[in-house]
Structure 1
């Protein structure tokens, strides 16, 4: 089949990411003798420089890694709520939601410690060897992405009026960075150089220096600057300035940690995801909900064809059920282990849930009752359903009213392949955003494999800390100011995140690492990619990664968004026009509120693979946005 690019193949190493410079940094490390984990760390820090609207040093990252000959692990770089982040504190300020921007929305930053733990425990390079690429791009500059300038333009008034430190960095001459203009961040380069100098002064050992750098971040000059700046009031989406609650003690107490992945066996594949503190199990629940006739590897009587309207309808409706369970049951179960992933993936539970899928689109939010428990939906879900639906949908008719013309007719222009997807960053003037994320995957000649989805700490999230060159993150906006819910705000508790890297095995051997930016759409886009890999013929003796990435994609919005202001659009599905007029018409007949985007408007996946039998490596990357690239040899 025709693809925008070939699926790359080789035997030395492969890297793929959401920015070509990060992919190039990863390959440079592999060429210098480093392994996949060294390369991933170099790419991760590079992404913080070249995609500052999508991630930053004070953000978070979940990582799934599979050392050669070892078992897959999750490395959690998601920090919890600060000790002062209680529901009572926020409601005492007159808030009914955590703001979408500003220091009050900051969780404890987790990405830095996770990257360094990965480097220490699984890498071979010194910190200076993997940080030099990020330092070089920050100090000497890099060509600004059009999306960076667009993000700055969207929040220009906020920067100029309320966040002068951000304006100084991103509006130095009063204008947003032009596409391709050289963008520098000298303060960030100076931060990393000082950190390296202090780490190297601790002693000559590689691990010794990495641990010293972790202390500098959590207890040294970086922690002091972050805590001091967090205590200063700053304007946020509430319309009022608030100081944050993040302290030096919060920063000093955080350490990234390893966890067992949640996994699911599916037709010879074992797919591994982060736990219920992420939305990762949504991917696995969607697999578990697939009917047997849809998962045949050869045509069978009555089975819907790949990409057919019935196929799409089945996946969309199963996704709604999985996302409803996310709303009702997912949260940081380290503190609240009411429901386990095993219960949500139980075959009997999946059969019960699958029976809810009918011929027509549902406009209801229908969480299940694992173990007979009654789900409790917070006011966010109730309000989102009430405000986002028609009267018929709000009553749960199962066949939503089509009385809204804008939802039943194509309402988006046909963007070129270079235009961003429908779930890319959507930034309001107050800086509230959704879908701001990066992704990277690496595999090396030894068989080490890693997938990571860094996010948070965006340039539009909080004011830049001037002496450091980056802002705090805003992941607490996902937590709820209502007690007794799986994702209620609580000190030390990780807010549920959308970040969701993936790793798949066959016969116990890691063969595929993949993922995507896209906020709530990540596990919808990823599922369609994975099924395109698994249910279609291989090419050139390997997995058709690029064909699966290029395949027409979609996502639905039938659940409360994770991002402020947490909107919900019952029965709405956003599709690429390439799925075809017949499929669009049939989806509408079934009651879906179809919103048609451009031919290349959905999905931003990248992936790497390894054939354990031959050692052949493969990679592919997203052409949408003309930004993601794979490389290898």
Structure 2
């Protein structure tokens, strides 16, 4: 019954472990856990969200892309006619085609072994019978209670039982979501397991779910962060044309490890770029909690994220020079820019043929990036005064050595009005597009938004394999990088590397509305040595100290060539869970 699983919620971990114990593989377990996460962390993800995953099977890594593109009606003309300069971070204009359900179904159909009803059972039971609602979910609901009552009645009806926010830890039910899934199962008929799963996909994207979503977007005038109400542009026809897909990963070799990430429709390559810059330093000789280590990491991240914001986008729709940016000639020249002091300029590179784009993006950032208020989006939400969304993560290994690293997100209860009759809301991923012509991240029908979702999977030449990831928006690859570097350079075991004090840069423009940035900003946990914090400030960084254990929710799982398995979550994952089955 060997297997291992870690996730951001203990109930999801248990659901996945139960599938492994019953003979299911990593893909069956991942789907079961992923669907449970939609129920128990509704402020962090939902059925209307999106999903990137990295799969390991038969000695090969593969990307599962379930990031939905912009709908046919999502045109620059329409959004500009709505009086917008930036796409709001909530409401219905921020919605792209929801991809998560199709992604989970595709994973289950092609790589799983169990029936859909079996892997959905735990999620349906928790939605129908209830689960202890998390404190942060309650805080999110309570903070929006008046807004829900005034503007989003469907959300008020679901999230304010008896007219008030639920009590922390109380049993919370979502019977409409349970009924939606039960109806999908009832209508998903076919002569084989695969046919039944495909039928479920049809019910969601070409059946009653899509029809209800299309009607809701056309009829609902939803208030959003712009201060005005807007209809959505997503239609049932958009839903009908969607399918999740598979891609080859981008990889980079570092210290005997090959690290796999998504292509540049996600921010994943930024971790590879940062590793390429840091490869020129002897990090093993540095204190992983010291100022020299922290300075090098922060400065390398600034350069890599500047490239992300200037050049990343959907490579299927626009040229993205990511392969050039992972070549030695490029990253060695960029590495030479790292000095002893903080460089607080925004300094993307200039891949051949992209000078004009660099100039245009820098002008855009100058015009539209806002000064940072409370620092950034996800996982820092408890430090903000306004509700924000976030993300979840899971890592799974089975007895056969199959692995899944998945980072679902979107469809947050606070991002979009709940759809009556379905029990879930839509995503707000379109806020990552710019309303400017001719960019890789221009709003355009069929374009995938450049998401921050960034699962990771690596394999070492000695046979070890590592799955890891975290919630956290723009911080995802920063926190993952710290964990990875400390794990391989810092003489730390898995748990120690996860628990070590975190820091991250807030120098780059946020991917989320209203696109704030804090030049030179660094957020550091209070248990990072004071000597390190002082030295960073002396180098020109602008360090904001936050409570220890308050940032980052990284989890990881390791396969060893002797078939030993490990799984762990950070101490910050107060309600996450990790289970290793012997």
**Which TM-score band (shorter chain)?**
over 0.9
2:265 and 2:501 map into 1 onto residues whose CA distance is 29
- How far 1:76 moved relative to its partner? 0.2
Matched, 1:630 2:574: no
Given candidates 548, 555, 558, the residue that maps to 1:606 is 555
Matched, 1:42 2:32: yes
Given candidates 316, 340, 346, the residue that maps to 2:327 is 346
Q: How does 1:78-157 map to 2 (within 5 A)?
A: 78-157=67-146
Q: How does 1:103-252 map to 2 (within 5 A)?
A: 103-199=92-188, 202-231=189-218, 232-252=220-240
1:347 and 1:602 map into 2 onto residues whose CA distance is 33
Which structure 1 segments of 5+ residues have no match?
1-10, 390-405, 412-419, 539-543
The two structures have a TM-score, normalised by structure 2, of 0.96
CA contact (8 A) 1:604 1:622 kept: yes
2:384 and 2:191 map into 1 onto residues whose CA distance is 45
* 527-536 vs 132-141, greater mean Cα deviation: 527-536
Match in the other structure for 2:365: 381
CA contact (8 A) 1:104 1:243 kept: yes
2:378 and 2:94 map into 1 onto residues whose CA distance is 26
Pair 521,134 (structure 1): closer, same or farther in 2 beyond 3 Å: same
1:421 and 1:624 map into 2 onto residues whose CA distance is 14
Matched, 1:368 2:349: yes
CA contact (8 A) 1:277 1:330 kept: yes
- How far 1:135 moved relative to its partner? 0.2
Matched, 1:324 2:306: yes
- How far 1:344 moved relative to its partner? 1.0
CA contact (8 A) 1:154 1:427 kept: no
Pair 277,581 (structure 1): closer, same or farther in 2 beyond 3 Å: same
The two structures have a TM-score, normalised by structure 1, of 0.88
Q: How does 1:565-604 map to 2 (within 5 A)?
A: 565-604=514-553
CA contact (8 A) 1:423 1:519 kept: no
1:554 and 1:567 map into 2 onto residues whose CA distance is 18
- How far 1:308 moved relative to its partner? 1.3
Q: How does 1:126-525 map to 2 (within 5 A)?
A: 126-199=115-188, 202-231=189-218, 232-296=220-284, 299=285, 304-337=286-319, 339-371=320-352, 373-374=354-355, 375=358, 376-377=360-361, 380-383=364-367, 388=371, 423-424=380-381, 433-434=388-389, 436-507=390-461, 509=463, 511-525=465-479
- How far 1:292 moved relative to its partner? 2.9
2:288 and 2:223 map into 1 onto residues whose CA distance is 49
CA contact (8 A) 1:25 1:42 kept: yes
Which string of whole-angstrom CA distances, capped at 9 and with x for unpartnered residues, describes residues 190-228 of structure 1?
Answer: 0000000000xx224100100000000111000000111
CA contact (8 A) 1:126 1:206 kept: yes
Match in the other structure for 1:6: none
- How far 1:293 moved relative to its partner? 3.1
Pair 342,509 (structure 1): closer, same or farther in 2 beyond 3 Å: farther
CA contact (8 A) 1:26 1:42 kept: yes
Pair 518,109 (structure 1): closer, same or farther in 2 beyond 3 Å: same
CA contact (8 A) 2:53 2:64 kept: yes
Which string of whole-angstrom CA distances, capped at 9 and with x for unpartnered residues, describes residues 1-50 of structure 1?
Answer: xxxxxxxxxx8110000000000000010011100000000000000000
Pair 261,28 (structure 1): closer, same or farther in 2 beyond 3 Å: same
Which string of whole-angstrom CA distances, capped at 9 and with x for unpartnered residues, describes residues 35-94 of structure 1?
Answer: 000000000000000000000001001000001x23100000100000110111100111
Pair 51,383 (structure 1): closer, same or farther in 2 beyond 3 Å: same
- How far 1:509 moved relative to its partner? 4.8
CA contact (8 A) 2:283 2:293 kept: no
* 462-471 vs 371-380, greater mean Cα deviation: 371-380
Which structure 2 segments of 5+ residues have no match?
none
Pair 295,311 (structure 1): closer, same or farther in 2 beyond 3 Å: closer
Given candidates 45, 63, 67, the residue that maps to 1:74 is 63
- How far 1:361 moved relative to its partner? 1.1
1:500 and 1:571 map into 2 onto residues whose CA distance is 24
1:33 and 1:169 map into 2 onto residues whose CA distance is 36
Match in the other structure for 1:403: none
